[in-house]
């Protein structure tokens, strides 16, 4: 059942992206879904708490980045160490600039020692259109 929900959000968001008119792919809105599996505290003491602090700081800094339209951190209940970072970027260029920023490099360096699986960032873009995903409040989770 958990795998079902893991795929529902990206597919739903991708279908929203695809409801717009055709445009140059470089101008297409990007949806980035990153799964982060933190090591449990039984492996590294306080790893989840420290990892959550890194994740929250990353999301806050992402919200302030040029080209960011949405950034949020969600988790699966009742698990305490599985997280998804959901981001929407204006286009590939703004996302690439974000990836090259020192704050993103610091985040990925710091989180690396605390994750229990590969860092899994999946980038989705609309094959049709440059429409934007409507978001009313970037601080509120869609769940």
Is residue 32, in this structure, part of any structural domain at all? yes
Is residue 142, in this structure, part of any structural domain at all? no
Is residue 143, in this structure, part of any structural domain at all? no
How many independent structural domains does the chain possess?
Answer: 1
Q: What does the alpha-carbon distance between residue 21 and residue 124 come to, in Å, rounded to a whole number?
A: 16
Report how far apart, in Å, the C-alpha atoms of 22 and of each of 26, 31, 61, 102 are. Answer: 12, 17, 31, 34
Is residue 133, in this structure, part of any structural domain at all? no
Per-residue pLDDT, averaged over 16-30, amounts to 54
Report how far apart, in Å, the C-alpha atoms of 70 and of each of 14, 61, 62, 110, 117 are. Answer: 15, 11, 8, 23, 25
Give the pLDDT band of residue 126 (cuts 50, 70, 90): confident
Q: What does the alpha-carbon distance between residue 106 and residue 58 come to, in Å, rounded to a whole number?
A: 9
pTM: 0.71
The token pair at 105 is 């490099």
The reply to whether omega before 40 is within 30° of 0 (cis) is no
Domain that holds residue 24: 2-125
Instruction: Give the per-residue pLDDT at 78.
Output: 83
Tell me the CB-side half-sphere exposure of residue 49, using CA atoms within 13 A: 5
Is residue 31, in this structure, part of any structural domain at all? yes
∠ CA 22-27-33, rounded to 5°? 100
Is residue 62, in this structure, part of any structural domain at all? yes
The token pair at 112 is 């690396």
Is residue 132, in this structure, part of any structural domain at all? no
Q: What does the alpha-carbon distance between residue 67 and residue 44 come to, in Å, rounded to a whole number?
A: 35
CATH number for the domain including 47? 3.30.70.100
- Residues 39-60 pLDDT 10s: 999 899 999 999 999 999 999 9
Instruction: Give the per-residue pLDDT at 138.
Output: 55
CB 52 within 8 A of CB 37: no
Is residue 42, in this structure, part of any structural domain at all? yes
* pLDDT at position 66 over 90: yes
């Amino acid at each position: 059942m958990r795998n079902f929900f893991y795929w529902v959000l990206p597919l739903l968001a991708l279908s929203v992206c695809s409801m717009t008119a055709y445009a140059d792919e470089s101008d297409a809105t990007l949806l980035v879904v990153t799964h982060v599996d933190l090591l449990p505290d039984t492996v590294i003491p306080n790893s989840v708490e420290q990892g959550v602090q890194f994740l929250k700081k990353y999301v806050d800094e992402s919200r302030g980045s040029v080209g960011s339209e949405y950034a949020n951190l969600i988790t699966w209940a009742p698990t305490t160490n599985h997280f998804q970072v959901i981001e929407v970027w204006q286009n590939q260029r703004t996302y690439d600039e974000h990836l090259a920023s020192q704050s993103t490099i610091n985040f990925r360096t710091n989180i690396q020692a605390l994750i229990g699986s590969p860092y899994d960032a999946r980038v989705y873009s609309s094959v049709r259109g440059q429409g934007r995903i409507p978001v009313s409040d970037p601080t509120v989770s869609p769940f």
